[in-house]
């Protein structure tokens, strides 16, 4: 687990504008961010970084978000790492599949960054969180 002042959040997102928005807002909120724009790189980097939480898009190239989620959930070290799905896919079957695979939350695009931050804080409760978060 990272320190209380700089929890590590990994973002797997292939849309550059959304990725940049997330990085800026999360860093402003006191999080340390890491990212990848494809699923294979995301899995590799998550294993290296050991983030406190993951924000995961479904529509990633090379390995989709479901594949990333299944890979990290197959490793005991990451069984309890909060994973928030952030995706344009919001069919009930996609939500069910993500939750069944181990995602803690599911947020459809377009989304409110404030709502994402509230959900992230909730999932990190009792874990690392930024010093400037109540």
Mind listing the pLDDT tens digit for each residue in 16-45?
999 999 999 999 999 999 999 999 999 999
Pairwise pLDDT comparison (82 vs 4), residue with the higher score: 82
Q: Which CATH class is domain 8-124?
A: alpha beta
> What confidence score (pLDDT) does residue 100 get?
93
Mean of all residue pLDDT scores within the chain: 89
Pairwise pLDDT comparison (109 vs 134), residue with the higher score: 109
> What confidence score (pLDDT) does residue 130 get?
53
Distances (CA, A) of 113 to 33, 89, 92: 15, 17, 22
What is the pTM for the complete model shown? 0.88
> What confidence score (pLDDT) does residue 63 get?
97
> What confidence score (pLDDT) does residue 134 get?
41
Could you report the per-residue pLDDT of 53-73, keeping only the tens digit for each?
Answer: 999 999 999 999 999 999 999
Q: How confident is the model at residue 126 (pLDDT cuts 50, 70, 90)?
A: low
Could you report the per-residue pLDDT of 9-18, keeping only the tens digit for each?
Answer: 999 999 999 9
């Amino acid at each position: 687990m990272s320190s209380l002042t700089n929890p590590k959040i990994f973002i797997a997102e292939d849309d550059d504008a959304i990725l940049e928005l997330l990085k800026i807002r999360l860093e402003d909120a006191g999080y340390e961010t890491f990212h990848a724009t494809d699923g294979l790189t995301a899995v590799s980097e998550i294993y290296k970084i050991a983030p406190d939480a993951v924000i995961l898009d479904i529509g990633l190239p090379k390995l989709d978000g479901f594949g990333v989620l299944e890979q990290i959930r197959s490793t005991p070290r990451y069984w309890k790492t909060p994973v928030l799905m952030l995706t344009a896919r919001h069919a009930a079957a996609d939500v069910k599949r993500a939750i069944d695979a181990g995602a803690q939350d599911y947020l459809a695009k377009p989304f409110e960054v404030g709502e994402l931050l509230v959900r992230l804080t909730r999932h990190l409760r009792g874990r690392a969180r930024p010093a400037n978060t109540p």
